[in-house]
Structure 1
Amino acid sequence: MSLIHKLPYEWIIGLRYTRAGKRSSRNSFISFISLISVAGISLGVAALIVVLSVMNGFQTEVTNRMLSVLAHVEVFDARGGMPNWREQAEAARRNPQVQAAAPFVETQGMLVNDDEMKPAVIRGVLPEAEAQVSDVAKQIKQGSFAALKPGSSNIVLGSALAKSLGLGVGDRLTLLTAAPAAPGQGGSVAGMLPRPRAFTVAGIFEAGHQQFDSGLAFVSLADGEALIGLAAPSGLRLRLADLYQAPEVARQLKQSMGGDLYLRDWSQVNAIWFAAVQSQKRMMFVILAMIIAVAAFNLVSTLVMTVRDKQAEVAILRTLGASPRSIMKIFMVQGTLVGLLGTLIGVSLGVAVALNVHVIVPFIERLFGVHFLDKDIYFISEIPSQLLWSDVGQIGGVAVLLAFVATLYPSWAAARVQPADALRYE
């Protein structure tokens, strides 16, 4: 005896109704509507998997590029400077999650070359220590990051920043920073004067993130301290073994490191961006789930027509002793199987596309001569994809659930069929 024959009769009849026959044009039409429902669910599921995978990939790619420049945790001294940074770095490294620590200073400045003027964040670092907490040294396209020696007046620029200023390695530029105006010097309303200082471009880096490539510059730690009038670094930049533990590690370091310190992790530095991405992902899930819902509720019309077509058979089953609950089960099995089939096809298609976006998208771009991502707008020029099986499970579960809900009314209507009325004109 086959496995199918071991199933309850409701399942057997439901399976038979799912495989609609071709005995009449009416049955063919019902079968066609069922296929449309399957196709709609499949396309909705596949689209949702692909879109969420691309959004996951986009978030991961941008995060990785941001963290190639950002520190996992930054430690600041409330006094403005950290003269005992070596002792504080040693205290931070006692935490097993902290792999490296590097001192830094940071300020805002204006870079000037001829008639071009661009704002930038100026970060003073020790090149050998900075290489342990960020990947900037590996991202140097021209020149050398090691050229940032104390008192050298060398500067390393982001690639987009150097291009916008028309600068290359070896060129000179002027850096303007704000300095307090001395008594009698006038200055701005805030009592500040621009202080110029000449620097030589010693290197150009490219992080692959427009925010940093167009607005970040590095100088030596000593030159950075001189720019803002400090005799010590502003704080420490830390690299962790697990970047996702950064909030917890920051809380631990706050308690274990002495002094009046302020700590922030990488998720706080770009909190608005991460919140926006999560919000967009949730809204996209809701919007595309509605597409699945529309396709799933096509099952309602399919099952209603099936119920009307099978009234005589339902009446015979009732006279043979089938309960209204059993009749409901038959049509719920039919509708749920259609939804399950559409979900399985959609999951297979969506997973296949999500895993091959890096091949499919370039092919489409070459075929139609278009480019979907402008690097200056989206930070990256290629569409990334990261398939999360948790997303696939949620999408599949929602699709099957919607298909099941769509079966409730038609099944209830079938259970209410009265045998005498249904067989009166047969």
Structure 2
Amino acid sequence: MVFLKRKSVIVALASFVLISILLLISLGNKDDDKVVNAGEVSNMPLVEVKELEPMDLKEVFNTIGFFVPENDWRVTPDTVGTVEKVLVTEGDMVEKDELLFQLENSSQKERVEEAKQELRDARNNLQEAKTEENWSLQSARESLDEAKEYEEEQKQKLEEAKEDYKEGEIDKRELERAEDRYDLAKRRTERAQELVDSIEEDDNKDIQEAFYEEQVKWAERLLERAEKEYEKTYVKAPSGGEILSVRIQKGDTANPITPAIVIVSQGKVHVSTSVSEQYVVKLAEGDSAKVTVPAISDKQVSGTITEVGVMPEDGGRFYPVNIILDESIDNLKVGMNAQIQLTIASESDVLAVPRHAIVTDDDEDMVYVLDEDNLVHLKPVTTGISENGLVHVEGLNEGDKVVVAGISRLEDGTEVEVVKEDK
């Protein structure tokens, strides 16, 4: 009897275990059916939408430039000459009219002394003409001979100057000065001849005085010109500032064309750049700019456009633009590169969508807009300026929900499931 009872218990337990296993399998099968069914039902396109709200946009243009001084002076002598000595070096600070370098000037100094003697002689002759009753014909003829001799000398120097000019040894201004000296010499000869003629006609008192008054004026002009030529051999600073570069040394030939020394101001430096015709029409003086100096830091510094060129540079297609920084930058040097961000358009309180949300059909721009029934509809839009991938659009309303992801499976009237909504 005990054995039968135990057998009955074992059978009962086995039956319970079997039923439990079958029940679990049955429940498992029901859960699998739910997953499959759910996958079959969720067949709508999944999309992300963005609710539109007004915002400000700025369209920018990035370019590069370099720093230049607010003012700079490229110093050249007013005459051709050999450098005798240089009194400054790069980095020196100079004041206005401070001597920078000197040209060899022995010949100019000699001409000054000759002109001074000419003036002394002319004044002495004038004084004698006023005090003497008569002027001897012999003295007048001697003066005429001296004038002719001087004229011939200046004529010869003019011929030499013409040859030197052809060979490129002197500039045009040197040639013109030789021509002026020859013209003055001819006038002197003419006056001396008039004096001789007047004495021979025995009517010489007033003519004599007039002649030597003219001689004094001529000698004064000659001395003035000689002193100017001498002064040109001393080249001075046109303004105060820092010596940026010295391009000459003793023994070099300096000329009025090639800069010998460059001076830069100690005021604000500005950024110089150039832009194409596409962008120059969108810029104006007073517009803001952002400038970065990579050699110093990544910090952006605000600036203001001070000049927009009206003519392209060197006959090209790019127009010069200058920018003054609104604040100073430590360790900034002339010539450093600058990264520039220029604002070429701006708009306030406008609606914008990501560029990738815009679809184009037959050259018409459109976006998908979600309605209350989770249906999307194509709406045409007009595009404007852009910033960081956002494009200004017209044709939509504030609060519209625009599809920004999942567009590839859509067409007008498609029902969708929204998985993400940005505001």
Same fold (TM over 0.5): no
Higher helix share: 1
Q: TM-score range by the shorter chain?
A: under 0.3
Higher strand share: 2
| TM-score normalised by structure 2 residue count | 0.18
Higher Cα radius of gyration = 2
| TM-score normalised by structure 1 residue count | 0.18
